[in-house]
Amino acid sequence: EDQVTQSPEALRLQEGESSSLNCSYTVSGLRGLFWYRQDPGKGPEFLFTLYSAGEEKEKERLKATLTKKESFLHITAPKPEDSATYLCAVLLQAAGNKLTFGGGTRVLVKP
Amino acid sequence: NAGVMQNPRHLVRRRGQEARLRCSPMKGHSHVYWYRQLPEEGLKFMVYLQKENIIDESGMPKERFSAEFPKEGPSILRIQQVVRGDSAAYFCASSPMGQGGGYGYTFGSGTRLTVV
């Protein structure tokens, strides 16, 4: 069965303390891996799409990387406004346009 | 560009009533997806629709749930005879076409259904 697992479930950081979130997947036929940010009471907001191993994308303090079995979301020198739940999702060749999401990582950045 | 509009934002229904959730996709988007997020759980796919067609309903419960996306008007997710276990946040997303564009879906803010 296709699986997407995110770790850790929760992460508490001090402002400026860099860290990484992990998204591992056991799927066949990956078409793309997506990262989203979700704030409480809101819908997920698109961050990045990665298509192939070795690819990297950056946006402000966030950097996403992809290997054959996992993706990392690196948060560099985070600020309190980076506090959110970060979701990863995979799009599979055999699954049409359906995204399979991981359980998310809740990030809290304290000033 | 108003984005993906969902209404209502909050919906309270008694057990046995019907719930109707509406979703207007972004302008120019012809693909609509519904996802459910149970408390403390991740997003689970329910159904994928294009105008007047259900493309993939593999995530829809077999009974009580239905979805449509008519030629005119919003997409509707309908839950008949609601039970407490239906309490969740229901998110709609839209895209201009398949995922090949690389920008993922655009999600709405969700409808939070509470069954009492």
| Residue B68 neighbours by CB under 8 Å, 6+ apart | B49, B54, B75, B76, B78
pLDDT at residue B34 greater than cutoff 80: yes
Token code pair at residue B52? 């007047």
8 Å CB contact of A100 and B4:
no
Taking an 8 Å cut-off on Cβ atoms, the answer to whether B91 and A44 are in contact is yes
**Is residue A106 pLDDT above 80, yes or no?**
yes
- Report, in angstroms and rounded to the nearest whole number, the Rg of chain B calculated over CA atoms: 13
The 10s digit of each residue's pLDDT in A45-61 is: 999 999 999 999 999 99
Task: For residue range A83-98, list pLDDT tens digits in order.
Answer: 999 999 998 877 777 8
CB contact under 8 A, B42 and A31: no
Interface test with B, best of A42, A99, A106 (most B CBs within 10 A): A99
Residue type, B23: C
Query: Pick from B88, B111, B80: which is nearest to B10 by CA?
Result: B111
For the stretch B86-96, pLDDT in tens is: 999 999 999 88
Q: Which of A74-83, A93-102, B83-92 has the lowest mean pLDDT?
A: A93-102
pLDDT of B37 above 60? yes
Query: Which pLDDT does position B100 carry in this prediction?
Result: 47
Kindly report the number of other CB atoms within 10 A of residue A91's CB atom: 23
Q: DSSP string covering A42-99, please?
A: S--EEEEEE-STT-EEEETTEEEEE-SSEEEEEE-S--GGG-EEEEEEEEEGGGTT-E
